[in-house]
Amino acid sequence: MTSKELKALGIEVENLGTSTGSKWFSKGGLIASYSPTNGKLIAKVQSSTKKEYEKVMQEAEKAKLEWRDIPAPKRGEIVRQLGEKLREVKPLLGKLVSYEMGKSYQEGMGEVQEMIDICDFAVGLSRQLYGNTIHSERPGHRMYDQYHPLGIVGIITAFNFPVAVWAWNAALALVCGDVVVWKASEKTPLCAVACQKIIADILKANKLPEGISSIVTGDKGVGEWISSDERIPLVSATGSTRMGKIVATTVAQRLGKSLLELGGNNAIIVTPSADLKMTIIGAVFGAVGTAGQRCTSTRRLIIHESIYDKVKKSLVDAYKQIKIGDPLDIKHHMGPLIDTDAVDMYLNALEKIKEEGGKLLTKGEVLQGKGYESGCYVTPVIAEVENHYEIVQHETFAPILYLIKYKGELEEAIALQNGVKQGLSSAIMTNSVRESELFLSQNGSDCGIANVNIGTSGAEIGGAFGGEKETGGGRESGSDAWKVYMRRQTNTINYTTNLPLAQGIKFDL
């Protein structure tokens, strides 16, 4: 990206990394953001001190009192304006996502579109924060439940979706009457700065409190501050299972609520009746999209033995067509991994596969030469393995696709799919109604997302997003996921002159 393009998003060579609204202040050490596309320094962001974090929280505490009293449809109007501004900056912000994170430009644009979509969803939701009317067993009584804002929502996001996950949380939290404090990944701080500048301008134009939206930049220490802060009733954290367990434990110790979106180990089951052309497209995109760095990336392909060799050959042939390079060049299917630490993890995984008896069907290597100077470009790998291998049981955030054979009925494949600790996304490729219904039944996939004849990646915002087991059990985005951002209250009103007790209890004086 050019300096002019960065400046248009509010990014200079050095940026302050702590903000309430449009007020920026930081005195911590510098965090340098290097592009994995070329290894060049993009800009530096100053990290936050504990004193600055306290200032953010004080502003958030004040802002929540005013924000919660604004009618929900008017809060929705602010989110509508955010969506409109995102439409204006979509090409630039999408480019920044691609440049700082490394995903393809099309995927960067798609991520900003997710932000726009969730804003549209939240605007409609602002007039639909419904409670229920409940029939009372006592005459002359009315019961109902309603939802109130929680207050402050802490948001901790990962590098792989540096803007969309913030928007999923922020758009819903804002229409629900909450204010937000965001700790973005230290690997993609500039995306957070750009988003904060966008929403800060909207808040300022509408003469709203600065503390409605804040960011606090830094390492895991900032996440620890948020997780342990009793002023934050809800912490939404996206990242590794290891990180999620720490957040969940810390938040639970103070009886707060956590919304966790953690690791995935996603599988596609390929049955004998599957449309193989669709299967190959879904599997390849799921495995190499974002260089395998999506929580919904396809990690395992569980294939019936009768079609195993045919699917294997088609996949190997398809991988020969994958173009790897600068993600801003739309001719490329796959960009780099986020950094050289991720490359080391990829290489270690390949060694582990071979040590456990697996076979690499495509060569795994770090690309070198012109265009690959960052040292973060690798080739996608297909490997034949057994589901019980230790390396297969764990999520590796890299473009490694495991092929696993099943021999019997669909129940065997489902058992293999469910036989990992993660439970985020799953899919089946089949033309059998019976197979698809079994897969979606209580005896089928144990994941939070289960698809038929599409891959594991590419969820729409209209449905609740999240998974079970070590994925954390959280739900974000669509459906009724908004309820986690609010506190539920049951109300009973007696409009008579008598005081009958529930359950027919008599208490006469």
Query: What digits encode the pLDDT tens for the residues 346-365?
Result: 999 999 999 999 999 999 99
What does the pLDDT look like over 355-401, one tens digit per residue?
999 999 999 999 999 999 999 999 999 999 999 999 999 999 999 99
Q: What are phi and psi of 469, to 5 degrees?
A: 55, -130
Q: Which of 270, 223, 231 is nearest to 248 (CA)?
A: 223
Give the CATH number, domain containing residue 146: 3.40.605.10
The answer as to whether 495 is a domain residue is no
Residue 113 pLDDT more than 80? yes
Same domain, 442 and 479: no
Check whether 19 has a pLDDT greater than 80: no
Which tens digits make up the pLDDT trace of 472-481?
A: 999 999 999 9
Q: What is the pLDDT of residue 329?
A: 96
Same domain for 71 and 213: yes
Residues 343 and 299 occupy one common structural domain: yes
* Residues 45, 30: Cα–Cα separation, whole Å: 6
Beta-carbon-side half-sphere exposure of residue 374 (alpha carbons within 13 Å): 29
Residues 397 and 479 in one domain: no
Residue 92 and residue 17 share a domain: yes
Structural domain count of the chain: 2
Residue 450 confidence (pLDDT): 98
Q: How many CB atoms lie within 10 A of CB 247?
A: 25
* Secondary structure (3-state) at 415: helix
Per-residue model confidence (pLDDT) at position 15: 77
Report the distance separating Cα 453 and Cα 436, nearest Å.
Answer: 9
- Which residue range forms the structural domain that includes residue 22? 3-262+472-489
Answer yes or no: is 499 within a domain: no
Say if residue 222 is in the same domain as residue 301.
no
Question: Are 241 and 306 in a shared domain?
Answer: no
Confirm if 406 and 416 have CB atoms less than 8 A apart.
Answer: yes
Residue 458 included in any domain: no
Block residue for tokens 């005013």: 66
Q: How far apart are CA 222 and CA 50, in angstroms?
A: 8
> Could you tell me if residue 503 is inside a domain?
no
In-domain check, residue 465:
no
Among residues 107, 111, 261, 470, the one annotated as catalytic is: 261
Q: Up-side HSE of residue 248: CA atoms within 13 Å toward CB?
A: 17
81 in a domain, yes or no? yes
In the chain, the percentage of residues whose pLDDT exceeds 90 is: 94
Full-model pTM: 0.96
Q: What is the mean pLDDT of the chain?
A: 96
The pair phi, psi for residue 9, each rounded to 5°, is -95, 5
Tens digit of pLDDT for each residue in 157-214? 999 999 999 999 999 999 999 999 999 999 999 999 999 999 999 999 999 999 999 9
Which amino acid appears at position 20 of this protein? T
411 annotated active-site? no
CATH code at position 312? 3.40.309.10
Segment 237-260, tens digit of pLDDT: 999 999 999 999 999 999 999 999
Could you give the angle at which helices 72-101 and 164-175 cross, rounded to 10 degrees?
170
Q: Is residue 501 part of a domain?
A: no
Residue 164 domain-assigned (yes or no)? yes
Quick one: 381 and 415 in the same domain? yes
Return d(Cα 368, Cα 378) in angstroms, integer: 9
**Structure-block tokens of residue 284:** 């390849």
Give the pLDDT confidence score for residue 508 in this predicted structure: 84
Whether the per-residue pLDDT at 284 is higher than 90: the answer is yes
For residues 226 and 374, membership in a common domain is answered with no
Task: Decide if 404 contacts 428 (C-beta within 8 A).
Answer: no
pLDDT at 279 over 90: yes
In a shared domain, residues 120 and 221: yes
pLDDT band at 76 (very low <50, low <70, confident <90, very high): very high
Q: Distance between terminal CA atoms of the chain?
A: 79
Q: Is residue 20 pLDDT above 90, yes or no? A: no
C-alpha angle with apex 420: 416 to 423, nearest 5 degrees? 105
- 8-state DSSP, 184: -
The answer to whether residues 402 and 329 belong to one domain is yes
Q: What is the pLDDT of residue 27?
A: 80
Asked if 246 and 338 sit in the same domain, the reply is no
